[in-house]
Amino acid sequence: MNHDLQPIIIGVGQSVWRERDVDRSPVDALQAVATKALSDTASDRVINAVDSIVHIPFLMNQVPGLAEAMPINPGAALAERLGLKATQYTSDVGGNLPQQLLNEFAGRLSQGDGAVTLLCGVELLATFLGAVRSGEGFPDWATGLENTAIQVGETPVMTAATEQAHGLYEPINAYPLFESAQAHAKGLSTAEHQARLGNLLSAMSRCAAENPYAWKNRQLSPEEVLSTASGNRMISYPYTKVMNAIIAVDQAAAVVLTTVGKARELGVDPDKWIYLRGVASAHDSWFLSQRANLHESPALNAACSAALTQSGLDTDALTHFDLYSCFPSAVQAGCDALGIEPDDARGVTVTGGLSLFGGPGNNYSLHAIASMVDCLRNTDNGAGLVWANGGYLTKHSVGVYARQPPEQAWKPRSDTSMQAGIDALAIPDLADQGSGRFVLEAHTVCYSADEPDRAIAIGRLDDGRRCVALSKDAQLMQALVDGNCVGQEAVVRHEDGLNHFRFQGSNYG
């Protein structure tokens, strides 16, 4: 079997810096991990064969007024430092990007478009935010190099105006909504649901405690996950602080991608090779309030199935997983898509998850891929799946990796028909102004200074349209915290540009 066009990873590198240093620029950090990844190939010939540098965009580029402090074209600056004549690429925004861009360039390499691709990303948010809070001001990290990077993909609008108005532009408010819908769909009692969350995060923390690249090497008991003591305050019910991704980290990762034929030509030892066996990318409806069901993701289900089919493996054959873990509802959606339980003995992460390993902006899943490579190299016949997620459980990219080559030669695949099927699914219309009966489909309570501040709910009006609504009623917020109220009837009214909901008195119990 000729596997010369089979995409493989031949080098990985990761770094974490726990001490703040404004003199360490993002390009310095990229150079450090790129050098690690290139050295990891154990071939001096690889570096001169790199003809594409793919940079995962900085999270700070998405914050108005902050992007000018960042390097304009970090890929070009890195190429200059390494002495490479490589074309630079970048993309839009989203945690899906590391896997999606790897999928994209694997396809290009397998069709003879290029020789070796270096994917890299960094976030120095701990240093950046620390400098601002201390009064030092913005670090001067801009390089001044011309922005010549080629853009891959485009940025869609992912929140509707009514979602923005009601606070759903913040992930900390959006993902707990999915959580309530998932708990209701599974018929979990409040006690069962709490135990599920505590056990999930506790198991993930064991991985973080042993990971030298994790931001926090800390193991938590289920009780510590759920407790609001010791600063682990409630953020948006039912998520305590440790259930939320931590973005104030200084972390970087890099991956070297090529094909079997090129790796052989460059003299890379086959013991370094990890095969990319299957890939797929898809997205759900851009607006979360227009998803047919809020407890599942058709696009994620389809992407996992497609990637596994291409890989020639099934879920039972996998030995490792890294399911995107910005919030517990994301992990559970990944488990549902794969038909596994959150307490699967194989684990759901190879890093420790975004809440303890760290959530370095758009770049987390590049760490997951690098960690997966390290894990699989220590096996004889291991296989793993990485799922990267962007938006509000919106954009999904999946990669299946294995120690051994596939039985069939690699054939590039297209996601077009799969996406067309997802786009054809019926979605509910969205009502900007709600009035009358309102049946809850998802809800959360947002906290401020350790106290409930407001409730957010998504539900259906009598005419079938979706509606997003708020409430500041203390009794209502307590009812949502005391038990799952999905399926209960409420009343909604539109006032001062917002939808407000309340329960009838009999529904509080």
Residue type present at position 108 = R
Q: Give the three-state DSSP class for 419.
A: helix
Question: What's the length of the chain?
Answer: 509
Distance CA 164, CA 63 (A): 16
How far is Cα 162 from Cα 289, in angstroms, rounded to an integer?
10
Q: Backbone phi, then psi, for 410, in 5-degree steps?
A: -65, 135
Specify the DSSP class assigned to residue 432.
S
Q: Which CATH superfamily is domain 7-158+246-423 in?
A: Thiolase/Chalcone synthase (3.40.47.10)
CB count in 10 Å sphere of residue 155:
12
User: What is the per-residue pLDDT for 137?
Assistant: 87
Residues 6+ apart with CB under 8 A from 164: none
Pick the CATH number of 436-507 from 3.90.480.20, 3.30.450.40, 2.40.50.840, 2.60.40.420: 2.40.50.840
265: Cβ contacts below 8 Å, ≥ 6 apart: none
CA distance 360 to 95: 9
Whole-prediction pTM value? 0.97
CA 76 to chain centre: 26
Contact call for residues 405 and 6 (beta carbons, < 8 A): yes
Return the residue matching tokens 């953020």.
235
How many C-beta atoms surround the C-beta of residue 210 within 10 A?
A: 11
Distance (Å, rounded) from C-alpha 133 to C-alpha 304? Answer: 42
Half-sphere exposure of 122 (CA within 13 A, CB side): 27
Amino acid at 225: V
DSSP state of 482: H
HSE of 27 in the Cβ direction (CA atoms, 13 Å)?
21
Counting Cβ atoms within 10 Å, is residue 223 exposed (0-12), middle (13-18) or buried (19+)? exposed
Nearest-10 Cα torsion for 212, 215, 217, 219? -130
Domain boundaries, the chain: 7-158+246-423, 436-507
| pLDDT given for residue 47 in this prediction | 98
Neighbours of 33 (CB within 10 A): 25
Cα–Cα distance, 121 to 437 (Å, whole number)? 48
For 129, 242, 360, the CA distances from 354, given in Å and listed in that order, are 18, 9, 8
Chain position carrying tokens 């090497």: 217
Per-residue pLDDT tens listing for the chain (509 residues): 678 999 999 999 999 999 999 999 999 999 999 999 999 999 999 999 999 999 999 998 877 777 777 888 999 999 999 999 999 999 999 999 999 999 999 999 999 999 999 999 999 999 999 998 999 888 889 887 778 899 998 778 899 999 999 999 999 999 999 999 999 999 999 999 999 999 999 999 999 999 999 999 999 999 999 999 999 999 999 999 999 999 999 999 999 999 999 999 999 999 999 999 999 999 999 999 999 999 999 999 999 999 999 999 999 999 999 999 999 999 999 999 999 999 999 999 999 999 999 999 999 999 999 999 999 999 999 999 999 999 999 999 999 999 999 999 999 889 999 999 999 999 999 999 999 999 999 999 999 989 999 999 999 999 999 999 999 999 999 999 999 999 999 999 999 999 999 998 645 43
**Is-contact 58 149, C-beta < 8 A?**
no
What pLDDT sits at residue 320?
98
> Do 7-158+246-423 and 436-507 have matching folds?
no
Phi then psi for 184, rounded to 5 degrees? Answer: -65, -45
3-class SS at 90? Answer: strand
**Residue 468 has which token pair?**
């997003």
The CA distance from 176 to 329, in Å, is: 7
What is the token pair recorded at 234? 């409630």
